[in-house]
């Protein structure tokens, strides 16, 4: 859980520079998130959701929490990577929808994030 909290702080930094043109810093933060979760972006984008969950479980059954971090990372990355934005947003939405169905705890924040991503995909 300490890892997840620390990665949440990195994600918050990425959120803070969402609309900045400081691509070097955002790229570094994104790389830090993927590396810390022991997955690369290509794997996260192409892996089916159940396999992704198992890979991120890392023996402590926190796979859903790590999936949520990946989804939020993809959302933030979409603001800095216009070439892959649609693929990142689509996968982030799929991950969050999967978590919402799999998690025993209902999250209004997650529902709102899914709606936000859906609206971004419409544009």
pLDDT for 121 = 97
pLDDT band at 23 (very low <50, low <70, confident <90, very high): low
C-alpha to C-alpha distance for 88 and 96, rounded to whole angstroms: 12
Q: Is 59 left (phi over 0), alpha (psi -120 to 50) or beta?
A: left
**pLDDT tier for residue 22 given thresholds of 50, 70 and 90:** low
Whether residue 116 contacts residue 122, with contact meaning beta carbons closer than 8 Å, is answered with: no
Query: Which letter, b or e, does each residue of 6-15 get, where b requires 16 or more Cβ atoms within 10 Å of its Cβ?
Result: ebeebbeebe
Total domains, the chain: 1
Which residues have CB under 8 Å from 46's CB, separation 6+?
A: none
Q: Which domain holds residue 56?
A: 2-122
Residue 95 has what pLDDT? 98
CB proximity list for 60: less than 8 A, separation 6 or greater: none
Q: What is the mean pLDDT of residues 29-51?
A: 92
Quick one: pLDDT band at residue 68, thresholds 50, 70, 90? very high
> pLDDT over 70 for what percent of the chain?
93
pLDDT value, residue 19: 65
Q: What is the pLDDT at residue 105?
A: 87
Please tell me the distance from the alpha carbon of residue 31 to that of residue 25, in angstroms, as a whole number: 10
Residue 97 confidence (pLDDT) = 97
Which pTM value belongs to this model?
Answer: 0.85
């Amino acid at each position: 859980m300490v890892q997840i909290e620390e990665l949440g702080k990195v994600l918050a930094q990425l959120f803070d520079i969402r609309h900045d043109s400081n691509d070097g810093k955002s790229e570094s933060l994104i790389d830090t998130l993927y590396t810390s979760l022991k997955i690369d972006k290509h794997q996260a984008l192409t892996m089916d959701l159940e396999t992704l969950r198992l890979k991120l479980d890392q023996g402590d059954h926190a796979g859903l929490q790590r999936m949520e971090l990946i989804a939020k990372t993809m959302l933030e990355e979409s603001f800095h990577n216009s070439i892959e934005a649609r693929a990142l947003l689509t996968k982030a939405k799929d991950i969050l929808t999967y978590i919402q169905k799999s998690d025993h705890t209902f999250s209004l924040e997650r529902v709102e994030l899914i709606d936000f991503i859906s609206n971004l995909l419409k544009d």
